């Protein structure tokens, strides 16, 4: 985990720089693809995903190392060839994992957050799941195991494969000629994120588009069919933690409400969108049937609240960076406490962006919980060793954060809490 923490520490400025370049370019060419709260939600989602991975909060049911020990037919020396084979095997596996997530009710819950943005930009790429509880996907790496790809090579190549999927989340890069027949491009991935009927569940490949072309899931971006982004059941929230579990909650409610015992079981493994016959009319769900009817979610927040939300995002990054730098020194179980603090911090600031009165409750838990930790330990997770006045400044921030949030709750959250605006 320490190695992963270092990798995340190095990759954060790269991602932020690329998003800044995209935003500046959009401003210059007068084609802005970012919205304030949507962007904050995307970045916050990426942080929650990183924290979950750092804490190892996934039960590995089938480990690749076990498959390698049991199935390897040959042994490949650690040369360039083994890394090439590994990359291709991971990409092949990624296609089928992705396809599974788009077609099975339970697995969609692990992926819906990535599609939840009604914009399409590099911040959207950071919307990664925290709702994957069981590590079962190694079974799709059986080809790599059979070919004798060592686990350490998988461990090195997997994050590289993931990071290479970041760049094509943009509306500013047009079709790329002959490359459209080789790799996944921004044009192809725009199709993948669209809810237009012709585009649904298409272009599932991660790096090489050959898998889509071979298995019948390829769709070209059409000039006459502009992409409309999001999901058919709009989340209607800026809270990335809630978005991660909305579909799961729907499945739980449907499984509870149906009187058919077979349906209580099979709902989890049925195709995406399937619901028991005895409840789908009784408990209807609003879906976007025609993309032209999409109305983008927004909240009637003041400019001051937008500025404060960005300040809170900056603080989120500073807290995360301390966690990454001090990962070994903080150690377990204190890392779980720190991770919980970060989750509550993001939850509280997201509730405020949604103009929910509950924001003050979660802010109080965060701030007074943090102050109690400082009082009983005399330190903020090793910050004293890095910065002489760090703990005092952290205490001042926590107190100020609570008071400022209280001010916004009193002044801005009244009457109708949200307003949806702007047709796609």
pLDDT, tens only, 341-368: 999 999 999 999 999 999 999 999 999 9
Domain-located, residue 190: yes
- Shared domain for 18 and 146, answered yes or no, is yes
251 belongs to a structural domain: no
For residues 81-88, give the mean pLDDT: 94
| Confidence at residue 102, expressed as pLDDT on a 0 to 100 scale | 96
pLDDT: which is higher, 67 or 58: 67
Express each pLDDT in 181-205 by its tens digit: 999 999 999 999 999 999 999 999 9
Given a cut of 50, whether residue 16 has pLDDT beyond it is yes
Residues 198 and 54 in one domain: yes
- Give the tokens for residue 187: 């044009």
Say yes or no: 156 and 40 in one domain.
Answer: yes
C-alpha 13/C-alpha 6 separation (Å) is 12
* pLDDT computed for residue 413 by the predictor: 81
Sign of CA dihedral 380, 385, 386, 388: positive
Note the pLDDT tens digit of each residue in 260-287. 999 999 999 999 989 999 998 899 998 9
Looking at the domain assignment, is residue 60 inside a domain? Answer: yes
pLDDT for the residue numbered 419: 46
| Same domain, residue pair 205 and 307 | no
Residue 237 belongs to some domain of the structure: no
This prediction's pTM? 0.92
Instruction: Note whether residue 223 is domain-resident.
Output: no
pLDDT, one tens digit per residue, over 200-221 is 999 999 999 999 999 999 999 9
Is 207 in the same domain as 309?
Answer: no
What's the structural domain count of the chain? Answer: 2
Same domain, 174 and 308: no
Whether residues 176 and 311 fall in one domain: no
Q: Is residue 308 part of a domain?
A: yes
Structural domain containing residue 204: 2-215
Question: What pLDDT, on a 0 to 100 scale, did the predictor assign at position 341?
Answer: 97
Considering the domain architecture, whether residues 313 and 184 belong to the same structural domain is answered as no
Q: Does residue 44 share a domain with residue 159? A: yes
Quote the pLDDT of residue 21: 96
Question: So what's the pLDDT on residue 422?
Answer: 47
The pLDDT of residue 148 is above 50: yes
Name the nearest CA neighbour of 308 among 414, 400, 212, 184.
400
Is the pLDDT assigned to residue 420 strictly greater than 70? no
Q: Does residue 87 sit in the same domain as residue 189?
A: yes
Is 363 domain-assigned?
A: yes
pLDDT the model gives residue 13: 92
Residue 423 pLDDT more than 50?
no
Mean pLDDT computed over every residue of the chain? 92
Note the pLDDT of residue 164. 95
SS (H, E, C) the chain: CHHHHHHHHHHHHHHHHHHHHHHHHHHHCCCCCCCHHHHHHHHHHHHHHHHHHHCCCCEECCCHHHHHHHHCCCCCCCCHHHHHHHHHHHHHHHHHHHHHHHHEHHHHCCCHHHHCCCCCCHHHHCCCCCCCCEECHHHHHHHHHHCCCCHHHHHHHHHHHHHCCCCCCCCCCCCCHHHHHCECCHHHHHHHCECCCCCCCCCCCCCECHHHHHHCCCCCCCCCCCCCECCCCCCCCCCHHHHHHHHHHHHHHHHHHCCCHHHHHHHHHCECCCCCCCCCCCCCCCCCCCHHHCECCCCCCCHHHHHHHHHHHHHHHHHHHHHHHCHHHHCCCHHHHHHHHHHHHHHHHHHHHCCCCCHHHHHHHHHHHHHHHHHHHCCCCCHHHCCCCHHHHHHHHHHHHHHHHHHHHHHHCCCCCCCCCCEC
Q: Is residue 298 part of a domain?
A: no
- Report the pLDDT value the prediction gives residue 407, as an integer from 0 to 100: 95
pLDDT digits (tens, 9 = 90+) for 285-323: 989 989 998 999 999 999 999 999 999 999 999 999 999
Mean pLDDT of 145-158: 91
d(CA 297, CA 231): 12
> What is the predicted pLDDT for the residue at 1?
63
Within 8 A by CB and 6+ apart from 61, the residues are 134, 135, 136
Whole-number Å distance between alpha carbons of 353 and 243: 14
* Contact present, 339 and 381 (Cβ < 8 Å): no
The confidence band for 418, taking pLDDT boundaries of 50, 70 and 90, is very low
Q: Mark whether 211 and 317 lie in a shared domain.
A: no
14-43 average pLDDT score: 96
Interatomic CA distance for residues 192 and 204, integer angstroms: 7
Strands 134-135 and 59-60: parallel
Give every CB contact of residue 361 below 8 A, 6+ residues apart in sequence.
Answer: none
End-of-domain residue from the set 198, 215, 232: 215
Predicted pLDDT at 70: 87
């Amino acid at each position: 985990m320490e190695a992963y923490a270092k990798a995340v520490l190095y990759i954060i400025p790269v991602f932020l720089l690329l998003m800044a370049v995209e935003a500046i370019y959009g401003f210059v060419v007068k084609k802005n693809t970012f919205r304030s709260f949507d962007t904050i939600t995307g970045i916050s989602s990426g942080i929650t995903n990183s924290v979950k991975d750092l804490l190892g909060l996934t039960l590995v049911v089938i480990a690749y190392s076990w498959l390698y020990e049991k199935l390897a037919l040959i042994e490949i020396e650690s040369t360039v060839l083994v890394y090439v084979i590994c990359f291709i095997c991971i990409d092949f596996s990624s296609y089928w994992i992705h396809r599974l997530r788009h077609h099975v009710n339970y697995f969609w819950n692990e992926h819906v957050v990535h599609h939840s943005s009604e914009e399409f930009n590099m911040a959207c790429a950071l919307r990664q799941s925290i709702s994957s509880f069981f590590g079962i996907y190694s079974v799709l790496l059986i080809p790599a195991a059979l070919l004798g790809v060592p686990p350490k090579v998988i461990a090195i190549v997997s994050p590289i494969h993931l990071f290479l999927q970041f760049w094509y989340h943009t509306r500013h890069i047009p079709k790329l000629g002959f490359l459209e027949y080789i790799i996944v491009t921004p044009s192809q991935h725009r199709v993948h994120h669209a809810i237009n009927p012709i585009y649904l569940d298409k272009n599932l490949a991660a790096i090489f588009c050959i898998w889509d072309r071979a298995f019948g899931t390829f769709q070209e971006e059409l000039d006459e069919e502009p992409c409309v982004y999001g999901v058919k059941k709009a989340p209607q929230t800026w809270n990335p933690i809630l978005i991660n579990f909305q579909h799961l909650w729907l499945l739980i409610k449907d499984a509870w409400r149906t009187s058919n015992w077979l349906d209580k079981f099979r709902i989890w493994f049925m195709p995406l969108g399937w619901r028991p016959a005895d409840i789908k009319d009784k408990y209807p769900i609003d879906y976007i049937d025609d993309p032209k009817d999409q109305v983008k979610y927004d909240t009637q927040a003041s400019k001051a609240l937008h500025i404060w939300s960005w300040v809170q995002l900056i603080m989120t990054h500073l807290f995360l960076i301390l966690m990454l730098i001090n990962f070994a020194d903080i150690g377990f179980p204190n890392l779980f406490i720190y991770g919980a603090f970060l989750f509550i911090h993001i939850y509280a600031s997201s509730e405020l962006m949604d103009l929910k009165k509950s924001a003050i409750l979660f802010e109080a838990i965060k701030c007074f919980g943090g102050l109690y930790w400082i009082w009983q330990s005399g330190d903020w997770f090793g910050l004293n060793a890095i910065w002489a006045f760090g703990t005092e400044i952290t205490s001042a921030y926590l107190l100020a954060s609570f008071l400022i949030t209280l001010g916004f709750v009193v002044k801005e959250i009244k009457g109708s809490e949200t307003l949806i605006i702007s047709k796609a």
